[in-house]
Amino acid sequence: YLKMLPDFLQKHPGKSVDIQIVAGEAVTSRLQAAFWSNLDVPDLVEVEISWAGSFFRGRLESIGFRDLTERIHKTGLWERIVQARFAPYTTRGRIFGIPHDVHPVMLAYRRDLIEQLRIDVDAIRTWDEFVEIGRRVTVPGKRFMMELPPAGVSSFEVMLFQRDGGYFDPQGNCTLDNEIAIATMKYYVPLVAGRYRIGNDLGGGQIFTRALEDGYYLFMVAPDWRTKVIEQDVPKVGGRMALMPLPAFTPGGRRTSTWGGTMIGITKRCADPDLAWELIMHLYLNKDALAEQFRNTNILPPARDLWDHPAYDEPRPFWSNQPLGRLYANLAPQTPPQYTSPYIGLAKAKLSEALIACVDYYNRYGERGFDGFVRQQMARAAGEVRRQMRRNPYLHENA
């Protein structure tokens, strides 16, 4: 952003822009407290997707961010940006944030090892086909088909969103116990538990680096931002990595999902919302600057009309000379929505508890009684979320 400011300030003499980096959790707690106490707050704030919903508690008029719905439609932004990306920053039909990204998901894999195993990734169309190969090549304790956490929900969410599931529906109703969520849990758990599991997770940092270098994982979930993490953390595998679309759950189905995200919003205390909007457009829709930013971060910007820049077609040596940007851009329009709620944090915690319980059950008993146990756990998770939601007089499930 600092590199992009001089052009903006040149157009607005006498104005200044102060950019501060603050830890995400601090932004959430401090900003919410400031909103409630009517204290000074920044004119613009970026909020991570997992925390955005927490700002939408209470009446619409009590939300500390400005309602941007009309601006988005009047300026044509609704048509330019991948529309699913507005969903996490929307409550009761009103949009309070502009998406910074799309974060489509692919699978990253060790191309050299996959070729040695004579696996044709182009022939893998569905998750069932992928899992069948995985059970053939997985060697427990030595090599797993895929990095999949048995406790964390990150990869589970990817599959849930891919199937058009989620924590909430567009009206804010909790959907953790619907048939899509139940089917996803029943599909995911045998991948990370039991005798025929194909996935494992050792953690991040140096352990992940060593695991990828040693071929402990063959495939891993890779939103665009994570490809840069891999480049930085595991440079030794450069030139031996490649990307492929996610397998679909049904033939011809969606081949991507989403993981992560950030919004920018204008606070109600902002004295000049028009100027703030102009700064957002400069930071989020500047084609040349964002192309250079993409080269440095691998993060695809949210507006479709930015993707025709040559930067997105450049071959990347680390990724076996694949055009990383074009691969993600081709999938981005299929990115599924993530519907949110002020209770998204609670819902994530309850899903994590359900996943851990289901993994433990499957390790003990396998398929025997598994369907009923999954339904029980998902109903319990959804029930606890709904109980908390009913306590909010301003945000009922049918709001």
Where exactly are the structural domains of the chain?
2-102+258-328, 105-257+339-390
Q: Which DSSP helix (H) or strand (E) runs through 262?
A: strand 262-266
Q: What confidence tens digit (pLDDT) does each residue in 33-77 have? A: 888 777 889 999 999 998 899 899 888 988 999 999 999 999 999
Instruction: Give the model's pLDDT for residue 399.
Output: 39
Instruction: Give the model's pLDDT for residue 396.
Output: 54
Instruction: Give the model's pLDDT for residue 58.
Output: 81
**Distance separating alpha carbons of residues 144 and 127, to the nearest angstrom:** 16
Q: Name the pTM for this structure.
A: 0.94
**The CATH fold of domain 105-257+339-390:** D-Maltodextrin-Binding Protein; domain 2 (3.40.190)
Angle of CA points 25, 27, 28, to nearest 5°: 65
Q: What is the 3-state secondary structure (H, E, C) of 89-115?
A: HEECCEECCEECCCCEEEEEEEHHHHH
Instruction: Give the model's pLDDT for residue 397.
Output: 39
Angle of CA points 257, 185, 370, to nearest 5°: 165
3-state percent breakdown (helix, strand, coil) of the chain, nearest 5: 50, 15, 35
**Distance separating alpha carbons of residues 323 and 338, to the nearest angstrom:** 27
Residue 346: CB atoms within 10 Å: 19
**Distance separating alpha carbons of residues 118 and 112, to the nearest angstrom:** 10
**Distance separating alpha carbons of residues 328 and 316, to the nearest angstrom:** 13
Instruction: Give the model's pLDDT for residue 127.
Output: 99
| Residue matched to tokens 């519907």 | 339
Same fold, 2-102+258-328 and 105-257+339-390: yes
Instruction: Give the model's pLDDT for residue 208.
Output: 95
Q: Which residues of the chain have pLDDT under 50?
A: 397-399
Does the domain made of 2-102+258-328 have the CATH classification 3.30.470.10?
no
